[in-house]
Structure 1
Amino acid sequence: MCPSAVFSQLERRTWLVPALLLIGLTAGAYIPAMNGGFIWDDDDYVQDNLTLRSLEGLGQIWLQPGATRQYYPLVHTTYWLEYRLWGLNPTGYHVVNVILHALSAVLVWRLLIRLKVPGAWAAAALFALHPVHVESVAWITERKNALSGAFYLSAAGAYLRYEEAHSPRLYWTALFLFAAALLSKTVTCTLPAALLLVLWWKSQTPMRRTEVALVPFFALGAAMSGMTVWMEKHSVGAWGPEWDLSLVERGLIAGRALWFYAAKLLVPLNLAFIYPRWAIDATAVWQYLYPAGALGVGALLWALRERLGRGPLTGVLFFVGTLTPALGFFNFYPMLYSFVADHFQYLASLGLLALAAAGGHRTWTRLGRPAAGPVSLALVLAVCGLLTWRQGQVYADLETLWRDTLQKNAGAWIAHNNLANILKERGQLDQAIGHYRQALLLEPSSAQIHLNLADAHRARGESAAALRHYRRALKAEPNRVETHLKLGNALLGQNAVAEAIEHYRQALRLAPDLALAHSNLGAALAIQRQDAEAIGHYRRALQLKPDFAEAHNNLGRLLALRGQFAEAIDHYRRALQIKPNYRQARTNLAEALQAVGADSRSKP
C-alpha cells in the first residue's frame, strides 16, 4: 500500500498520528530557535515591559491603549502569564511560539481536509517547515503572528462548521475566536473576506445568507484595524517623509511585493531579517510590470476558471487578499527601512502552499505514479526542515542577527546602527564608530545615528567630534529631549556652562516633568553659583523621581554649603539607601557628620 493510501486510512480512523507527526517535525526543525535569546523589540515587548510585572499591569494591558507598544492585549497577556512562570528566561517564550506554530499547522491540516483540498497534510507540513516562517516563530515579538494565526484558523474552522450545521453556538464561537485573533494582531481582519472567497469557491449558488452572517465580522475587523492604523501612526511612529507616498507609488510597492513574497515561497534562499528598501519611481515604466503582471495572472486564472476550476484562483486571491494590509496601502513602521518582511506573509502563504500541495498531488496521480508523491514530498520537507534549522540559528542573539542581516543586505543602515550599539556597549569603540559612519552614509539625515555616533566619540574622549554630531542630531530633530540633554552634558564637560544651561532649559520646555533634566540643570546652575535656583530644580527632580540617588547627593552638597547640615545628611543617607556603593555620597556624608561634630564641639 502506498504512503498516501496509508495516510487516507489514518485520517479516516484518527487524526492523532498525522497531527503528532506535524508537531514532531515542527519541534525538531525549530530546536535552534528554541535555544535563542531575546532580540530586537523583545525589550519593549518582554524585557522592559513594566506591565508584565504586576496585576495592575495586566489591567493596563487591556484598559490602557498605549501602555504597551501596540494594543494587542492577548499577546501581552500571554507574556504576563509566562513572566510568572519563567521570568526573563527566553527559552520559555520561544517554546510557546513553537507550540503555537505547530498547533496552527495541525489546524491548517484539519481545515484543508474539511475543504476537501488534495494534499492537505502536505500543505500543513509545508506551512510548518517552510523557512520563510522562521521570523514569525523564532522572534519572540512575533508572538503576534503565532497567536493570531492559531485563533484565525480556529475561527475559520468554526465558521465553516457553522455553514454546514447552522448552529448559533458555532457562529458565536467563530465570532469570539475572530475577536481573539484581532486582539492578537489585526492583520487577521481579512478573515471574513477569506471566508467569502472560500465559500464562493465551494458554492455555485448565491450566498446572500452568508454575506449577512459575516457583516459583524467585517464590522469588528474594520474597527480594530482602524485602531491599529491610528496607533501605528501616533504611538509607534509610522509617519514622516518615509511614509509620504502617493497612491500610484503604493500600487507599485504592492505589485512588486506580491512577486517578492511568491518568489521567497518558491525559492526560500537568502532570507534576511531586513531586506533592501526599494527605490520607488512612478516615472520608471519597468516598475509597472510588477502590478501589471499580478493583474495579468489574476485575469488569466479568472478566464480559465471553468477549465481549471475555481481552486487556483481562490488560492491566489487568498494570498493577495491576506497580504493586503502589509502591501503598503497602509502605513506601518517597518516601511522606514523596508517594504517587505518574511513575517508579513505568515498566513497569506497558505494560499500558495495549499495550491502547490494540491497541484503536486493531482500531478502525480494523473501521471499514474502516486507513490512518487510522498517521496518528492519527503525530499521537499527535508530541504525545508534543514533550511529552517539553519535559519533558526540566525536568531541566537542580537549580534548574530545583525551580522547576518548585513551579510545579506549591506545597505541596511538600521543593522549597522544596531550592531554599532552592541559594539559600543562592549567597549569596542573603533568598530562601533565604523558602523555608525557606514549607517550615516546610507541614512545621513538620521538624528538617532548622529546621536549614537556622538556618544561613541564622547566615550573615546573626542569632545569636538561628539559636539559636532550632537549638533547635527539636533539640527535633524530639533525637539528631541534626549539630544538637548546630551549636548548639554557635553558642553558642560567643555565648561560651556551658559550654553549647556540653555539646552537643559529647552529640554524642560519640551518635557517639564523629566527628573533628569531638572537634575542636570541644577548641576549647571550650581557651577554658576545660582544655588537657590539649583536647589529648586533638585527638589523638583526628587518630587518626580524620589529614588534619584544622584539628585539626593547633589542637593545634599548644596545644602551643606549653605550650612544646612541636618537636611544634607538626610539626603546623603537617602542616596546611600538607594545606592549602597555610592562612594561620593559616602564621602560627603562623612564630611557632613564631621562638620556637625566639629560645630557641636565648638559650642560651650
Structure 2
Amino acid sequence: MSSHPKRPHHNASTPKTNAPLSGNNSSERIIPSWPWLAAAFLLIITVLAYLPAIRTGGFIWDDDSYVTGNPLLRSLQGLHHIWARMGVARGGTHQYYPLTFSVLWTEYHLFQLQPLGYHLLNVLLHALNAVLVWRILRRLCVPGALMAAAVFALHPVCVESVAWITELKNVLSGLFYLTSLLCYLRFLDVAGPESQPAGPPSSRNVVSNTAPAEVSNRHWPFYSLSIFLFLCALASKTVTASLPAVILLIIWWKTGRISWKNLLPTVPMFILGAGSGLLTSHLEKTLGASGYEWALTPVEHLLLAGRILWFYAGKLIWPGELTFIYPRWEVSQAIWWQYLFPLAAIALIAALWMARKKMGRGPLTATLFFCGTLVPVLGFFNVYPMRFSYVADHFQYLASLGPIVLLVAGAARIRLRPDGSLTKPAISAAGMILLTLGWLTWRQSGIYKNADQIWIDTIKKNPSCWMAHN
C-alpha cells in the first residue's frame, strides 16, 4: 500500500483523532529539519546531565557479582559459560542475560576494572535510547516527540538505570526493545511525518489512511529484523517480553481494532517472551526470591500492585527523595486505605475507556502501556530485590515512557498555534522543565561515586534501611 495518505474530506462525520496521542503531524514542526541535529541535541544533554557519573562514578552494590568479582569475565571459557550454562550452581551467571554479560565481558577486556568506560557506555546507550524514542514517536506522528525524548533522557528516575553499572541490562535491553519496535513499525508501514502532505495539522488526519493493519511483502525483512532484535532484548533482560503486547496496543490505538492479520505475526514474539519470562522466574527463585517476604494473599498482591503503580506515577510527576533503597511497605488486607490504590487504578482505566470516543484512545493507550510494562514488577512474581523494597527506580525505566509521552503530547497540543508551531511561553516552559530535570539528574548521578556515598544517601532518605547499616 502507499505510504502517502490521501487528504480526507472533513465534514461533521469525520472522526476525532486520538488526542493527545493522535495521528496529528504537528510534531515535525517543533523539531529541527535535520534529524542529526535532534539526535546530537539529545546526545549532548544526556552526557552533560550524567557527567558526575562519568567522571567520578565507581562500582557499588551488586557490581561485584556482575563485574569486579565475576570470574566469567576473565576468559574465553567464561564467555562460553555465559551462553551455555544457566545459574551459578551450573557454572553460569545468576541471571541468564547472556548478551548483557557478553557486553560486560567485552568491557572488562577493554577497561579492566576502570569504571569510567563502563559508565560512559551506559550513558551513551541511554542517549541512543532517547534518540530511538524520538524516532518512534515521530514515526507515530505524536506531538512533542523531541520534547518527550528529552524528558526521558533527563528524567532523574532513569538515573539508577544509567549510573549503576549493573543496570547495563536495562539500557542495553532498552536499546534492542526500541529498535525492534521501530523495525516492526516499518514492517507495518506506519508512515512518519516525512511522507505526509504539507499543510497545517488541522487540514489532515494522517492516520486515517495509514492504518498499520496492512503490510506489503516488501516489508517482511523488517519483520525478521524485529524478531532478531527482540531476541537480543530478551537476552539482555526479560522485562522486554512485553513488546508484542505493546505492538498490539499501538495497532489498537491507531485503528481501533486488532484483527487476526495483526495478531498472527506477534505470536512468535509472545512465545519467545513467555519462555524467557518463565526461565527468569525460575532463576529468581534459585537466587532466594522465595520465603516469608513473598508470603502474601491474593488480595494483598492486588493491594501491592495498585500501590506500586501509583508510587511510580508519583515519582515521574514529582521526582523528589529518590533513593537507592526505598522503605519496604507493610501490606495487609486488614488496612482499609490500602484498597484505595487498586480501586483508583481500576477507576482511572475505566474512565479512560468510557471517554475514549471523546478524548481519543491515546490516554488509555499510554496508561495501559505504563501498567502493562510494569506487570513483571508489580508483586505478582517473585523478584529478588523485593526482599529489600517493593519498588526501585530502575524497575520503571521503559514504563516511564507512557506517562512522559502522554503528558508532553497533551501539553504540546494545547500550546501549538494553528500553523503547528509552539508559542514563545511554551518554548520557555519547555526549556525550564529540561533545565530542572537536567539539574536533578546531575545531582542524583553524583551519589554513584562509590558504595559509601550510595549508603550515606540511602540512610539520609531511608534511615530504617538495614542494608545500608551493614
Question: Is TM > 0.5 for Structure 1 vs Structure 2?
Answer: yes
For residue 239 of structure 1, what is the amino acid of its counterpart? S
Q: 1:98 corresponds to which residue? A: 123
Q: 1:26 corresponds to which residue? A: 46
Unmatched runs of 5 consecutive residues or more in structure 1: 418-604
Rounded Cα–Cα distance in structure 1 between residues aligned with 2:30 and 2:66? 45
Residue 56 of structure 1 deviates from its aligned partner by: 0.5
Q: Deviations over 1:160-191 (max 9, x none)?
A: 11011542211110000001000000000001
Q: Deviations over 1:76-97 (max 9, x none)?
A: 0001111111111011000000
For residue 117 of structure 1, what is the amino acid of its counterpart? V
For residue 59 of structure 1, what is the amino acid of its counterpart? H
| Correspondence list, 1:143-162, <5 A | 143-162=168-187
Residue 208 of structure 1 deviates from its aligned partner by: 1.4
Q: 2:15 corresponds to which residue? A: none
Rounded Cα–Cα distance in structure 1 between residues aligned with 2:36 and 2:416? 26
- Kept after mapping to 2: 8 A contact 1:315/1:355: yes
- Secondary structure (helix, strand or coil) at the match of 1:395 reads helix
Q: 1:580 corresponds to which residue? A: none
- Secondary structure (helix, strand or coil) at the match of 1:410 reads coil
Residue 130 of structure 1 deviates from its aligned partner by: 0.1
- Kept after mapping to 2: 8 A contact 1:152/1:177: yes
Q: 2:301 corresponds to which residue? A: 250
For residue 54 of structure 1, what is the amino acid of its counterpart? S
Q: 1:226 and 1:207, CA in 2 relative to 1: closer, same or farther beyond 3 A?
A: same
- Secondary structure (helix, strand or coil) at the match of 1:68 reads coil
Q: 1:292 corresponds to which residue? A: 343
| Structure 1 stretch displaced more, 27-36 or 162-171 | 162-171
CA radius of gyration, larger in: 1
Rounded Cα–Cα distance in structure 2 between residues aligned with 1:58 and 1:380? 44
Residue 301 of structure 1 deviates from its aligned partner by: 0.5
- Kept after mapping to 2: 8 A contact 1:45/1:69: no
| Correspondence list, 1:540-559, <5 A | none
- Kept after mapping to 2: 8 A contact 1:156/1:195: yes
- Kept after mapping to 1: 8 A contact 2:304/2:331: yes
Which consecutive aligned stretches of 4+ in structure 1 deviate over 3 angstroms post-superposition? 4-7, 366-369
Task: Kindly indicate whether residue 388 of structure 2 is the aligned counterpart of residue 341 of structure 1.
Answer: no
- Kept after mapping to 2: 8 A contact 1:10/1:17: no
Residue 7 of structure 1 deviates from its aligned partner by: 6.5
Bigger share in helix: 1
Q: 1:241 and 1:114, CA in 2 relative to 1: closer, same or farther beyond 3 A?
A: same
For residue 121 of structure 1, what is the amino acid of its counterpart? L
Residue 10 of structure 1 deviates from its aligned partner by: 5.7
Residue 416 of structure 1 deviates from its aligned partner by: 1.1
**Percent identical:** 51
Rounded Cα–Cα distance in structure 2 between residues aligned with 1:107 and 1:217? 21
Rounded Cα–Cα distance in structure 2 between residues aligned with 1:214 and 1:89? 42
Q: Which of 63, 72, 95 is 1:70 aligned to?
A: 95
| Correspondence list, 1:488-503, <5 A | none
Task: Kindly indicate whether residue 259 of structure 2 is the aligned counterpart of residue 207 of structure 1.
Answer: yes
Q: 1:39 corresponds to which residue? A: 60
Residue 5 of structure 1 deviates from its aligned partner by: 9.0
For residue 183 of structure 2, what is the amino acid of its counterpart? A
Q: Which of 317, 324, 338 is 1:266 aligned to?
A: 317
Rounded Cα–Cα distance in structure 2 between residues aligned with 1:228 and 1:205? 32
- Secondary structure (helix, strand or coil) at the match of 2:188 reads helix
| Correspondence list, 1:367-516, <5 A | 370-417=423-470
Q: 1:197 corresponds to which residue? A: 249
Rounded Cα–Cα distance in structure 2 between residues aligned with 1:256 and 1:243? 16
Q: 1:7 and 1:211, CA in 2 relative to 1: closer, same or farther beyond 3 A?
A: closer
Rounded Cα–Cα distance in structure 1 between residues aligned with 2:369 and 2:362? 10
Q: 1:239 corresponds to which residue? A: 290
- Secondary structure (helix, strand or coil) at the match of 1:214 reads helix
Rounded Cα–Cα distance in structure 2 between residues aligned with 1:374 and 1:342? 29
Rounded Cα–Cα distance in structure 2 between residues aligned with 1:296 and 1:393? 39
Residue 33 of structure 1 deviates from its aligned partner by: 1.0
Rounded Cα–Cα distance in structure 2 between residues aligned with 1:369 and 1:265? 24
Q: Deviations over 1:100-133 (max 9, x none)?
A: 0000000000000011110000110000000000
Q: Deviations over 1:208-265 (max 9, x none)?
A: 111011000000000000000000001x210111111122111111100111000000
Residue 364 of structure 1 deviates from its aligned partner by: 1.3
- Secondary structure (helix, strand or coil) at the match of 2:381 reads coil
Residue 52 of structure 1 deviates from its aligned partner by: 0.6
- Secondary structure (helix, strand or coil) at the match of 2:129 reads helix
Q: Deviations over 1:374-396 (max 9, x none)?
A: 21111000000000000001111
For residue 89 of structure 1, what is the amino acid of its counterpart? Q
Rounded Cα–Cα distance in structure 2 between residues aligned with 1:304 and 1:6? 24
Task: Kindly indicate whether residue 383 of structure 2 is the aligned counterpart of residue 358 of structure 1.
Answer: no
Residue 369 of structure 1 deviates from its aligned partner by: 6.5
Residue 317 of structure 1 deviates from its aligned partner by: 0.6
- Secondary structure (helix, strand or coil) at the match of 1:77 reads helix
Q: Deviations over 1:317-361 (max 9, x none)?
A: 100000111110000011111100000000000000000110110
What count of residue pairs does the alignment treat as equivalent? 412
Rounded Cα–Cα distance in structure 1 between residues aligned with 2:425 and 2:308? 34
Residue 371 of structure 1 deviates from its aligned partner by: 2.5
Q: 2:271 corresponds to which residue? A: 219
| Correspondence list, 1:120-139, <5 A | 120-139=145-164
For residue 329 of structure 2, what is the amino acid of its counterpart? W
Residue 315 of structure 1 deviates from its aligned partner by: 0.5
Q: 1:484 corresponds to which residue? A: none
Task: Kindly indicate whether residue 133 of structure 2 is the aligned counterpart of residue 108 of structure 1.
Answer: yes
Considering only aligned residues, what root-mean-square deviation do their CA atoms show, in Å? 1.6
- Secondary structure (helix, strand or coil) at the match of 2:78 reads helix
Residue 365 of structure 1 deviates from its aligned partner by: 2.2
Rounded Cα–Cα distance in structure 2 between residues aligned with 1:92 and 1:326? 30
Q: 1:249 and 1:366, CA in 2 relative to 1: closer, same or farther beyond 3 A?
A: farther
Q: 1:409 and 1:374, CA in 2 relative to 1: closer, same or farther beyond 3 A?
A: same
- Secondary structure (helix, strand or coil) at the match of 1:117 reads coil
